[in-house]
Structure 1
Amino acid sequence: MTNPKTAHLISHTHWDREWYMPYEHHHVLLVELMDTLLDTLDQDPEYRYFHLDGQTIIREDYLQVRPDQQERLDRYIREGRIQFGPWYVLQDEFLTSSEANLRNLLIGHRDAQPFGVISKTGYFPDSFGNMGQAPQILQQADIQNAIFGRGVKPTGFNNAVVDAEAYESPYSEMIWRSPDGSEVLGILFANWYCNGMEVPVDPEQAKVYWDKNLQDAEKFASTPHLLFMNGCDHQPIQTDLPAALRTASELYPDIHFVHSNFDDYIEAVSRHVPDNLATIQGELRSQHTDGWGTLVNTASARVYLKQLNQQGQTLLEKVAEPLAAMAHAAGVKAYPHHLLTHAWKMLMQNHPHDSICGCSVDEVHREMVTRFAKSRQLAEKLVSQTAQAIGESVDVKSSEAWGEDAVLFTVLNTAGWTRNGIIEQELIVDKAFFPEGPNPQALARKLEEAALPAYQIVDSAGNIYEAEIVDLGVHFGYELPKDRFRQPYMARKVKVTFQARQVPALGYQTYGLVPAREQKSSSVNGVQAEGNVMENQYLRLAVLDNGTVTLLDKRSGKEYVGLNAYENTGDIGNEYVYRQPDGEQAITTEHLQAELRLLEHTPYRAVMESVLHWHIPAGADELFEQEKRYMIPFTERKAQRVQDTVPLTITTTYTLEAESDMVKVRTEFNNQARDHRLRALFPSGLVTDSHSADSIFEVAKRPNTPAKEWVNPSNAQHQQAFVYVTDEATGLMVANKGLNEYEILQTSSGSTIAVTLLRASSELGDWGVFETPEAQCQGPQSVEYALIPFAGDAARSGACASAYVYPIPWTTVQLGTLAHTYAKEALPIDGVKAGESTLPPYKQWLDWNSEHSTLAFSTFKIAEETGDVIARWFNLTAESAELQAQTGFECTAVYESDVLERVKDTLEEKLQMVSGHKIVTQGYQLC
């Protein structure tokens, strides 16, 4: 006897907070929907459940307008009739950082904690591809399933379901396995997440509806439990669903129709799945499709958003949180959980896929820029306050390297690796508060007239550093004391530029600006520059007449030629999809003549500038406007670019620092063209079949050539911090700051990395006609990336570590003069008096075996529930790796934690073996 079929109808609405309308337009509709939902739950006990789209922010958004409804809403969440969580927002997984994905899950769980219930559904309904480590992340959060809409089968225009033979799974159910081996039950919306919307109550209409929809669901289901999603994008709830289900039950007595929820549905499916489910591995990026529906080109839509997001994420997770954890562990400042959560939430409100992907109307993205700024302002203030608290507690008297007239400052390294780098810091060498003189003008003149000595930079061990010191004159400033009114002052400032060396990971070094005197020197392998060539102990860089670069890796002897030419093509697609005009040939800067000059040359840094004067087509022709207006599908468009051109001047600076394994590149241009794409090209000369790209908690290895089903001429893909090609002996890596799209171009001479710098488009695309002129990204633009050649393995060579450290800014704080430090009045800072000597001039909070390791460091923070220090790593390779960490603070126990920062097993040994591709979190209980 066969099992009877059950049709599970799950009511929901897929709630894009902003998309084809600005946020507040959507907000009004959300309030109306939630009002109706609560009324329906009150009035109809047969309307049993509603799935709140997997994101807790919906509750926040609703109560912002209807705080009077909190009791009703919260009661239904507690009762389980409204399913809540597990995410804060439905993020784009590939365009948000590894830690941002975890903060999203963690904050979603924290939001749900007061209710004692959370939906343990790994919900990814419309992610534009899915991260390969999702099963491991979900498993660590006790989520045993993943429900998704894209990644293993084609999805057509306006999310239409497309039949094709190239499914990676014959069923809508499958096993999804992470690179580390973690598995969850994967359930694909094979008929999309609207296959049960607007169910008819009328029997005649219901018969037509169910005959088709039942057949469509049965085509992919491996069990008798059929999933029907009763809702769609911003879909109002179907208040008469109970009546519609009664009609269906009468029409199909052999099928059990139930108003269901994901918990019940997944439990039922799990009992009946067959043994022959397909296992899909790692990333879900729709590679076995025609390639048009992957929407990967959202990675290059409105690049400025990606840059702002990278800056915001980095400032929070790689600076503000580690600094706050250091201060907390040292006992000098309490960890500001509430403010950090507020900053993260503000940032994550830009992380939904239609937001961070840059595929909404212009009003949406204008508001995003403001949110980015507000989150950054919060983070900057927290960084400033925390650095000051640490600085105030440094015992500068313990070093004999400085005299009492030294101006002291501390350089903090919040990266997980010891690093060198150029520090540019403004220092106050003298100041006078307004009450100390007759007026600000007189104070300014007095300070201006004072003669400054010749200065030098000295660290706490007495080492002298080559430095450039520039007098900046007099400037206004103010202090905001904790115990009295603001204190304005006039100050004499200097700017110091030098190379800090071997600043410890998650630690700091203190320096003094002192009048020049004899002292032992600190040796450094410097930078040479002559003509168009720059060279340090590792690299030799020649900028050629056409602005391209020849780069020699002196360690391996490998030379890379023709790096960083620029390529331009037309784009008659939209914010979602890049589409080059038929028959068009790309134009490049290969035959242009560059203007070259050496901008800077010091012992620690050389900077070369290349200026290219280019002309590119002004935009697409008139046919393009007509094709957009008439909704001609982008694959069928015949538009071309016009013959008229506009100037595009590209200014590139190449920076080589002493003892550095990378060349830093900054490219600036003023975009006046429309409907085009600009890329930088990096021919490796390496013949390879695959390449590797930094993704979410993994370096994903991807084939250079797509599957046979792929017909899209473009094979662009996502990256986080870097992409590289290697022949196992040598390799070329391109790191970036907020440039998330690349493509590997295959030629007979080897693989070329193409990184997208700008994509200018003019319409949203998808299901309607929505003009987006601001997506043309006209006006001044600047992008930053770095070239990192390496020998052997990218992880063990240190290339991956260099790329991860590259975007992390230094943090500096001035301590004042030593004389002032001796005499200053002690002011309380979270229970520790300023001037109390609690910290040495040089300190490290966490040391681990980073050299030649295949582990990557990810986070250093404080767990909100336990107050413990949390540190996280992930293994970049399939081989096991040793992890040995030593704390620079007192702790009573070390334990294994997880992505939700819970206390798991105690670690008795300092040495922990980390299996291949494992995400490992350690907790440290403070004394």
Structure 2
Amino acid sequence: MILLANAKKLHMIGNAHLDPVWLWQWQEGYAEIKATFRSALDRMNEFPDFVFTCAGAAYYKWIEENAPEMFEEIRARVREGRWVIVGGWWIQPDCNIPSGESFARHSLYSQRYFHEKFSVMAKVGYNVDSFGHHGMLPQILKKSGMDYYVFMRPDAREKQLESNLFWWESADGSRVLTFRIPFSYNNWYRHTADNPTKDKAKAVMALEEKHGHGYMNFYGVGNHGGGPTIANLKSIQELQREFGDGRVVMSSPNAYFEEVEKSSSGLPVLREDLQHHASGCYSAHSETKALNRRAENRLLTAEKFSALAYRLLGLEYPHRQIRRGWENVMFNHFHDIMGGCSIKEAYQDARESYGESLNLAAVSLNAALQKISWSIDTMKEGVEGLSKDKHWALWEQQDFGSPVVVFNPVSREVNAPIQINKLVKGVTDEQGNPLAFQQVRGSRTNGRNDKYDTLFMANVPALGYRVYWIYIEKEFAAAQSERSLSADAFSLENDWYRLEIEPHTGYIAKLIDKANDVEVFRGKAAVPIVIDEYHCDTWAHHVFEFRNEIAKFSDAEVRVMENGPLRAKLRVTSRYNRSILRQDIILYRDQPDIEIKVKLDWREEHKMLKLSFPVNVQNPKATYEIPYGFIERPANGEEEPGQTWLDVSGTLPGRGDQMYGLALLNDSKYSFDFLDNDLRMTVARGAIFADHYGMRDEWCEFMDQGIQEFGYGLVPHYGHLRDSGVCHKAQQFNVPPIHIVETYHRGTLPQTLTGIRISAENVTVTVFKKAEEGSDYILRCYEAAGMECEAMLELPLLNRKWTARFGRSEIKTFRIPEDTEQDIAEVNLLEMPEDV
């Protein structure tokens, strides 16, 4: 036996990396999880010192439902302390693409599940195979009962760290003790290793001696499950005989972190995100990413209005349906699904489960909205009963009009376009004030006039609703606006901007900010650039920049689609090879910013499409939205993940220190880069399904082929980013108002209602829902501009008004009892007291 002075302790972590989906579908993953858990239990019977570590609440739920006897065995081993639950999340997700609230839901549902079934909650965040880790995770972990984090990617080749053991700190100051796994999370070490288990353990022991602290060494067959084998455990016994069982211990991440935390005061502190690995995964498989954004937003909207309908009218809150919807979404966050690197068949499965979530949310949302709209008093004097004598589609009687209830899901008042699939001659608000409107083309082609819609602008209170009235024949003289709007063959202009299109290419030739006398772009913008990525596998392993430009879309056709009093639209259609890009560029009379709706027919293989926007500022800085926060990243051209907005700001040329910027909004994209002044958004990748540098042949299947539709917005702003309101603009862009065409009925509700008021512009609400247990309500907000503030929050429907202090980038969750005599409590993401 070898005895070392000041020997460290090597913690051997028996685990099974379980990809429920990757080169197989979830049904195969389901079976493999059962077999792997059975194997782990067998090893416990054979080796009394063996400790097994496993994450993923979804896996435990599968076992509970399909193998209840084995579930009881696991519960016994958890009580014994030999089966250690880590992770605290539904699965091991991609840690860049899900929204901030999605990460909160992983914690909420999973930790509460573990507590209910096993009387424990995970202490260690655990994402050993995820491809990158956003910088707000420490706060989310801490507010979920997890003080520690373990990961493997990016590895030492991809990101140099001062130490594999360090404090990781998010922008609000939250810290978790974090460990990067060396070499691998499973048995693999080197192809030349005689005994990988022993050889890797000795290599990790050498790292311990080099760095002066204990390490974890993970072992077990992984990816397709398997876990620790008999051979693994016998090898560990040999190591214990060689070095002493006090030097090499069968352990868990919990035990490891508890030990090293005792001497952690001198460890380095990392204040940034953990990137990069597999940069191609931020853009691979556009459809799944778009479905994810849509499902996240619809579930949150359904929760908000279900809570309102419960409070106002006693409608049963759809706890079960909402939870089922979130469980599907969380499962599809798995890093090989969300990262776009699974097999083609897996994406049919993802499509189906997202469809279920979207439908569950739609049914719950519709029930709530219809309950509210049906309870609004819309009766007019002279109406004795409902009868469709005047119009086949509307219930209008005489010239009384028909009510349209417009609901606003976001926490700020909005002024937004509402498009009604009816052609009418008059529109008013609930007070009878005439509004301007315009006729626009609908999506249908039914008869001579039934193909047209009516567009008007609605000003709707925060998290509330407002009734507008449309009239089949009655006309009104709307007040004349002092604002201007015009369109010609190649330009759009309103009071804020003049936008010019280059005819033969379809690019934006100029965008002039009229109020600030600024030319927003330095060169052509909205340029569709084709990138060659033949050298990339699906993940784009070891590729961090996509700059091999081979072509641009051109051969453009530009047409004026709309030129009305409220909205003007140019349709720009350009081509490359067999691919067609259609961009509808929109300006409104009554609101700034530019909206673009895109329809892309992508027919390219081994190619990527980016849209380029060269911003006309000096010393530019790029700020990316990340889940529940934002981060500034260098202008080095590397592909970076982002959420609903990305901003480039700097000083104006020749104007001293005057700040200016451009924010780019999107409704379904997650991959961007920025070099010099050029901001680019990745919109499609013609990569091969699940190609890990495989032997390519003529039978390969390519993703992103065919039609996809998405939207983006351009928000130029004078001054600092923190004053631009970009967070609220992006929220409204992703979650627009919803309307219901109603009829006459008496009701208890007024024709306008405000759901929330917030005094601080930099605080935004993401969640309003019923609590997971009890009759309380949950309100979640976060500080979105990086500035400490005090905010007054008011929920008129609950008769509640209170003040809260927000730190920089702080997430706050409030538990609000129905009984106004009871105090509002600040709780963690699990809806439990913060000290739990």
TM-score (ref. length: structure 2): 0.86
Q: Which residue of 2 aligns with 1:603?
A: 565
Question: Contact (CA 8 Å) 1:570, 1:580: kept in 2 or not?
Answer: no
Question: Could you tell me which amino acid in structure 2 is paired with residue 87 of structure 1?
Answer: W
1:421-570 matches, within 5 Å, as 421-426=416-421, 455-468=425-438, 496-517=453-474, 521=478, 524=481, 525=483, 527-545=485-503, 546-549=505-508, 550-561=510-521, 562-570=524-532
Answer yes or no: is 1:143 the counterpart of 2:146: yes
Structure 1 letter corresponding to 2:330: M
Q: Does the CA-based 8 Å contact 1:855-1:876 persist in structure 2?
A: yes
Instruction: Provide the C-alpha distance between the structure 1 equivalents of 2:365 and 2:74, rounded to a whole number of angstroms.
Output: 37
What secondary structure, in the 3-state scheme, does the structure 1 residue paired with 2:722 have?
Answer: coil
**Contact kept? 1:869, 1:923, Cα under 8 Å:** yes
Report the more deviating stretch, 244-253 or 82-91: 244-253
Amino acid at match of 1:498: L
2:406 equivalent to 1:411? yes
CA deviation profile, 1:537-579 (whole Å, cap 9, x unmatched)? 2222222212112222223221234211111121121210176
Query: Which residue pairs with 2:784 in the alignment?
Result: 876
Deviation larger for 775-784 or 127-136: 775-784
Please tell me the residue identity of whatever aligns with 1:536. Answer: N
Number of aligned residue pairs: give it: 781
Check if 1:360 corresponds to 2:363. no
Which one of the candidate residues 204, 218, 222 is aligned to 1:232? 222
- For 1:311, the equivalent position in structure 2 comes to 294
Whether the 8 Å CA contact 2:762–2:783 is kept in 1: the answer is yes
1:145 Cα deviation from its structure 2 partner: 1.2
Q: What is the identity percentage for the equivalent residue pairs of Structure 1 and Structure 2?
A: 22
Q: What does the per-residue CA deviation read over 1:300-345, in whole Å, with 9 as the maximum and x for residues that have no partner? A: 111122111111111112x212111221232432321111010011
Look up the match of 1:290. none
One-letter code of the match for 1:93? C
**Deviation digits for residues 73-104 of structure 1, max 9, x if unmatched?**
33334444333351011111211111111111
Give the counterpart of 1:87 among 86, 89, 95.
Answer: 89
Say which SS state the counterpart of residue 465 (structure 1) adopts.
Answer: coil
Residues 474/424 of structure 1: CA separation in 2 closer, same or farther (3 Å cut): closer
Partner SS state of residue 889, structure 1 = helix
1:17 and 1:27 in contact (8 A); partners too = yes
Residue from 267, 278, 281 that aligns with 1:295: 278
SS at match of 1:37: helix
Give the aligned partner of residue 333 of structure 2.
351
1:174 Cα offset (Å): 0.6
Write the letter of the residue equivalent to 1:74. R
Distance 1:78 1:398 in 2: 66
Q: Is the 8 A contact 1:731 1:791 kept in 2?
A: yes
- Secondary structure, counterpart of 1:105 in structure 2: helix
Q: Please give the secondary structure, in 2, of the residue aligned with 1:727.
A: strand
1:830-845 correspondence to structure 2 within 5 Å? 837-845=747-755
Looking at structure 2, the residues matched to 475 and 599 of structure 1 have their Cα atoms a distance apart, in angstroms, of 16
Per-residue CA deviations over 1:878-899 (Å, capped at 9, x if unaligned) read 321231111121246x7xxxxx
Letter matched to residue 224 of structure 2: H
The one-letter code matched in structure 2 to 1:540 is R
Contact 2:139 2:172 in 1 (8 A): yes
Letter paired with 1:266: F
1:276 to 263, 266, 277: 266
C-alpha displacement of 1:662: 1.9
Q: Which string of whole-angstrom CA distances, capped at 9 and with x for unpartnered residues, describes residues 217-274 of structure 1?
A: 425654245544445323413353554443222211374332212221111111233x
- Is 2:198–2:235's contact at 8 Å kept on the other side of the alignment? no
Confirm or deny that 1:267 pairs with 2:258. Answer: yes
2:831 maps to none
Check the 8 A contact 1:528/1:534 in 2, yes or no. yes
Structure 1: runs of 5+ lacking an equivalent: 156-165, 287-293, 428-451, 477-491, 616-646, 706-713, 823-836, 895-909
**What is the CA–CA distance in structure 2 between the aligned matches of 1:227 and 1:378, rounded to whole Å?**
43
1:358 CA drift (Å): 0.4
Distance 2:346 2:491 in 1: 46
Letter in 1 for 2:518: K
SS in 2 for 1:209: helix
Give, in whole Å, the separation in 1 of the partners of 2:252 and 2:197.
24
| TM-score normalised per structure 1 | 0.78
Q: Secondary structure at the match of 1:788?
A: strand
Which residue type is aligned with residue 559 of structure 1? Answer: E
1:849 aligned to 759, 763, 772, which one? 759
CA RMSD of aligned residues (A): 3.3
Amino acid at match of 2:461: P
8 Å CA contact 2:545, 2:639 repeated in 1: no
- Provide the C-alpha distance between the structure 2 equivalents of 1:536 and 1:815, rounded to a whole number of angstroms: 33
Amino acid aligned to 1:551: L
Residues 400 and 847 from structure 1, CA distance in 2 versus in 1: closer, same or farther, beyond 3 angstroms? farther
Corresponding residue for residue 914 of structure 1: 806
Contact 1:80 1:117 in 2 (8 A): no
**Deviation string for 1:822-847 (max 9, x for gaps)?**
5xxxxxxxxxxxxxx33211001111
CA contact (8 A) 1:20 1:770 kept: no
Q: Is 1:675–1:776's contact at 8 Å kept on the other side of the alignment?
A: no
Change (3 A) 1:599 1:244: same
Residues of 2 paired with 1:412 and 1:920: CA distance? 25
**Alpha-carbon shift at residue 702 of structure 1 (Å):** 0.8
For residues 676-733 of structure 1, the C-alpha deviation after alignment (integer angstroms, 9 at most, x for no partner) is 111111111223352111111112111113xxxxxxxx61111100111111511111
Match of 1:30 in 2: 33
- Tell whether the 8 Å contact from 2:617 to 2:650 is kept in structure 1 after alignment: yes
Q: Which residue of 2 aligns with 1:100?
A: 102
Q: Which amino acid aligns with 1:658?
A: R
CA distance in 2, matches of 1:515, 1:763: 52
| Change over 3 Å in CA distance of 1:83–1:167 after alignment to 2 | same
Q: Of 781, 786, 797, which residue of structure 1 is paired with 2:713?
A: 786
The reply to whether residue 727 of structure 1 matches residue 650 of structure 2 is yes
Give the direction of change, closer, same or farther, for the CA distance of 1:57–1:814 in structure 2 (3 Å limit).
same
Name 1:752's counterpart in structure 2. 678
Q: Distance in 1 between matches of 2:592 and 2:741?
A: 29
Provide the rounded CA distance (Å) in 2 between the counterparts of 1:65 and 1:220.
Answer: 47
Which secondary structure state, in structure 2, belongs to the residue aligned with residue 551 of structure 1? strand
CA contact (8 A) 2:198 2:236 kept: no
- How far the C-alpha of 1:469 sits from its partner, in A, is 6.6
Q: Which amino acid aligns with 1:191?
A: F
Deviation of the 1:808 alpha carbon: 0.9
Q: Does the 8 A contact of 2:19 with 2:225 survive in 1?
A: no
Residues 669, 696 of structure 1: CA spacing in aligned structure 2 closer, same or farther, 3 A cutoff?
Answer: closer
Opposite residue 69 of structure 1, the aligned amino acid is M
- Residue type matched to 2:650 in 1? D
2:596 and 2:713 in contact (8 A); partners too: yes
- Look up the match of 1:117: 120
Q: Which residue of 2 aligns with 1:576?
A: 539
Which residue number corresponds to residue 620 of structure 1?
none
CA separation in 2, counterparts of 1:553 and 1:848? 30
* Cross-structure match for 1:391: 373
Partner SS state of residue 795, structure 1: helix
1:586 corresponds to: 550
Report the equivalent of 1:709. Answer: none
CA distance in 2, matches of 1:791, 1:414: 28
